[in-house]
Amino acid sequence: MAFELFTAGEIRGITRLPAQTIRRYVNDFSEFFSEPARIPTKGRRFNGQDIKTLLIIRNMKSTHAGNDKILATLQDKNQLANTARFEELNAVKILSAAREDLKQARQEITAFQTVRGMEYLAARETKHLVNKFEKSLAQRDEMPDIIKRLDGIENAFKRLLFELNFERENKPFLAKVLGL
């Protein structure tokens, strides 16, 4: 039967212990760890029992238990079995909390993606409106030139009308004067 072995990095994630602390625990209580966990040159590999042992040591250290008390606990098979059951229940609680955290994280990611999508649409619409406004400003800036040109055309047209009107009204007089 093959047992699953975990890398030191995976163990850090499972136990939430720094690498130095894991190495120290393995060195201080080496007789309770498997051979792959004790050999650092090949890259430490931990089995399920090694994980339980690390969790027991971690919890006892958190209550300020000394190495002697930890050794006695690890040596007492009945105590170890009871502690392992406690650790298993604790691991289930941790797993349940991690699942809830994951669920919450997924919800936050979905909300974030929704907000990002809305921000993208708002940014795109804002860019469109800014472009429209800039074109409007450019057209407004061109308006004085257009008005001047229209004024020039209007003045030329008025002069032409005036000349035509003048010529029509004064045609008999001009014909007499010019001998036409």
Q: Is the pLDDT of residue 97 over 80?
A: no
45 SS3 class: strand
Cα–Cα distance, 155 to 158 (Å, whole number)? 5
Copy the structure tokens of residue 4.
Answer: 């699953």
How confident is residue 2, by pLDDT bands cut at 50, 70 and 90?
A: low
Q: Is the pLDDT of residue 55 over 60?
A: yes
Looking at per-residue pLDDT, the higher value among 113 and 61 belongs to: 61
User: What is the set of domains in the chain, with CATH numbers?
Assistant: 6-75 (1.10.1660.10)
How confident is residue 1, by pLDDT bands cut at 50, 70 and 90?
A: very low
Phi-psi region of 26 (alpha: psi -120 to 50; beta: other; left: phi over 0): alpha
* The residue to which tokens 């020039």 are assigned: 152
Integer-rounded Cα radius of gyration of the chain: 45
DSSP-H helix ranges across 16-76: 19-28, 35-38, 48-62, 67-75
Mean residue pLDDT of the chain comes to 81
